[in-house]
Amino acid sequence: MNERLNAITMRLTEHLHSVITEFQVTENELRTALNFLTEVGKSREYQLLSDVLHVSIAVDNITHAANHDDKSTESNVEGPLYRDEAPIMSPPVNICSVEGTDDEILYVSGQVFSSEDGRPLANAVLDVWQANGKGDYENEDPTQPDYNLRGALLTDENGRYEFRTVVPAPYEIGKGGPVGEFLKEIDRHAWRPAHIHFKLSQAGYKSVTTMLFINDDPWIDNDSIGAVKESLILKIEECNDPKEMSSRGINRKFYTSEYDFILSPEKVSITKNKEEYSIR
Ligand SMILES: [Fe+2]
């Protein structure tokens, strides 16, 4: 017998019964709920449903806490739009291949450190992907070139990285199917605050998938998938200095932002669910 599945099922059943009793759920409502779940399956929207119920981020938190030490960068959900084999770029890195005149130029830089002793990690890989200034990812937008706003870069000998991109815009998660209808019915929006996704990896260290949120976004306190974390907010600063602009070869204002990542070594094994830490 699968004891864990059995225990989860028993507990879930108890909670379901308690909600049904509390709200005196009717047969019609039950039928509507079952039909909804059938439609969610037909539309392949179970992942989306898990996201908007904030289940995805809750499980991601548990998984990260069980595998990484407390000092490492917090994780976040990967989302459905990651693509393997992003082009590997050498400095100076610019992940945006078509910059519109309305796009705001952004330089993101920082260092990657080890949580063990704080030393900078050279040759760590940052795999980056994001939406453009209209909130669209290239693989959902035929007007953008292939792999636009995606790229993999390496930290230098001091663990430093820098890339040029554009400030992403917030976007709405898919709302054309049953999950979108459900959100409408309960008067919940589908917006995600603007963010940049990262996958960090380095030999001997545990990989981290995360995302950084733009600090002044209107949805920062009300993410439809509940994934914003204080430690993952990116503070961006405007720069109008003509000298700085010319040194970067641009003729308009731009934005900069610094963020340091911390990775935990492979050898650290953490079992938080047993409330103990062991270091092998
Ligand atoms: Fe995203």
Q: Which fold has domain 43-279?
A: Protocatechuate 3,4-Dioxygenase, subunit A (2.60.130)
User: How far is ligand 1, taken at its centre, from the CA of residue 48, in Å?
Assistant: 13
- Tokens describing residue 263: 């990775």
User: How far is ligand 1, taken at its centre, from the CA of residue 85, in Å?
Assistant: 18
Is residue 132 exposed (0-12), middle (13-18) or buried (19+ Cβ within 10 Å)?
buried
State the pLDDT confidence band at 67, using cuts at 50, 70 and 90.
confident
User: How far is ligand 1, taken at its centre, from the CA of residue 195, in Å?
Assistant: 6
State the pLDDT confidence band at 4, using cuts at 50, 70 and 90.
very high
Average pLDDT over residues 173-188: 96
For residue 92, whether the previous peptide bond is cis, meaning omega lies within 30 degrees of 0, is yes
Residue 278 has pLDDT above 70, yes or no: no
**DSSP state for residue 205 in the 8-state scheme:** B
Question: 199-251 pLDDT, tens per residue?
Answer: 999 999 999 999 999 999 999 999 999 999 999 999 999 999 999 999 999 98
CA angle 206–212–214, rounded 5-degree value: 170
Q: What is the pLDDT of residue 100?
A: 79
Contact assessment for residue 109 and residue 162, using Cβ atoms and an 8 Å cutoff: yes
Cα–Cα distance between 233 and 214 in angstroms, integer?
A: 6
Domain boundaries, the chain: 43-279
User: How far is ligand 1, taken at its centre, from the CA of residue 217, in Å?
Assistant: 14
User: How far is ligand 1, taken at its centre, from the CA of residue 163, in Å?
Assistant: 18
User: How far is ligand 1, taken at its centre, from the CA of residue 2, in Å?
Assistant: 35
Task: Report the Cα 120 to chain-centroid distance in Å.
Answer: 23
- Tokens describing residue 143: 């007007």
CA angle 99–105–109, rounded 5-degree value: 125
User: How far is ligand 1, taken at its centre, from the CA of residue 136, in Å?
Assistant: 9
| Residue that has been written with the tokens 């309305």 in this structure | 102
Cα–Cα distance between 40 and 53 in angstroms, integer?
A: 13
Neighbouring C-beta atoms of residue 176, cutoff 10 Å = 9
User: How far is ligand 1, taken at its centre, from the CA of residue 133, in Å?
Assistant: 13
In the chain, what is the straight-line distance between the N-terminal and C-terminal CA atoms, in Å? 32
User: How far is ligand 1, taken at its centre, from the CA of residue 194, in Å?
Assistant: 8
